[in-house]
Amino acid sequence: MQEARMGASLLRLFFHDCFVNGCDGSVLLDDTSSFIGEKNAAPNRNSARGFNVVDDIKSAVEIVCPGVVSCADILALSARDSVTILGGPYWDVKLGRRDARTASQAAANNNIPSPSSNWNQLISRFSAHGLSPRDLVALSGGHTIGQARCTTFRARIYNESNIDSSFARTRQRNCPRATGSGDNNLAPLDIHTPTYFDNSYFKNLIDGRGLFHSDQQLFTGGGSTDSIVRGYSNNPRSFRSDFAAAMIKMGDISPLTGTKGEIRKYCRRVN
């Protein structure tokens, strides 16, 4: 990988695909004059990235095996390979998903959780897709890699009290208080090992160093997930195996099979 962050971006793309009408490649479709896709939904606009890498993988695969491998499966495999290459677990990826001929900006806005979510909102967004509180906590461990824009964590670092004060000060240095200044400045989601897939995210939560309001909600957020966070912070092996299992579960959300959907030729547009 030329850029370590790309692994994080590809992992997130898979999440943003699966949570919106299932793992069907819907997130990859470009807007056109007659079609509104998901790329400009609030959680994706100026934020989701990695589309060119998916295009490169797809064209390489089409050369050797045309019309067989869906864009949805490429997202699933890219997410797994990203995690494994960055030091995380390996799992066998189920394949055979087909690609959607539609996408829904409204469904993207309504299904992908916001970083200002509280504990109940997180639980319910995940349970709507058959994912348990334990799956929520394990999958949130994906925030052990990658970067976030100032606008997604500004409110937390200036206004919240359940945050380590030196961590808040560190983040404030590159994320000005005023909306509109430095909105796109980046900070790592995991202050310790932002390009390594480990269990450091859970240690951060225990230290009050969750970057998003939603992250910190999983520990001392008033819900019942504190013991799961403690477990993953003490036992990296249980995090690795639960993360892999939860990724398989997430990858099972409403796949298109049989004669539903299509195998796209280009991931950015329907055939």
- Alpha carbon distance 213, 153 (integer Å): 7
**Binds ligand HEM (CB under 6 A): choice among 40, 147, 193, 238:** 147
Tell me whether residue 16 is one of the annotated catalytic residues. yes
263 binds ligand HEM (CB under 6 A): no
**Binds ligand HEM (CB under 6 A): choice among 87, 89, 115, 133:** 115
12 binds ligand HEM (CB under 6 A): yes
Q: How many residues bind Ca ion (CB under 5 A)?
A: 11
**Binds Ca ion (CB under 5 A): choice among 44, 111, 144, 216:** 144
Annotated binding-site residue? 210: no
Q: Given the structure tokens 């058959």, which residue do they identify? A: 130
Q: How many residues bind ligand HEM (CB under 6 A)?
A: 26
Q: Give the CA distances from residue 204 to residues 118, 163, 185, 190, 197, in Å, rounded to whole numbers and listed in that order.
A: 18, 10, 21, 7, 14
**Binds ligand HEM (CB under 6 A): choice among 22, 113, 251, 255:** 113
Q: Which two tokens stand for residue 34?
A: 């007659």
Kindly provide the b/e burial profile for residues 95-129, where b requires at least 16 CB atoms within 10 angstroms of the residue's own CB.
eebbbbbebbbebbeebbbebebebeebbebbeeb
**Binds Ca ion (CB under 5 A): choice among 9, 11, 26, 122:** 26
Annotated binding-site residue? 192: no
- Alpha carbon distance 169, 41 (integer Å): 31
Checking phi first, is residue 198 left (phi over 0); if not, alpha (psi -120 to 50) or beta? Answer: beta
Site for Ca ion in 165-204 (CB under 5 A): 190, 193, 196, 198, 200
Annotated binding-site residue? 198: yes
CA dihedral 116, 229, 12, 71 (to 10 degrees): -130
Q: Measured from the CB atom, is 223 or 239 closer to Ca ion?
A: 239
Catalytic residues: 16
Residues forming contacts to ligand HEM in the complex (CB under 6 A) are 5, 8-9, 11-12, 15, 47, 49, 113-115, 117, 122, 139-140, 142-143, 145-149, 152, 189, 212, 214
| Binding residue ranges for substrate | 113
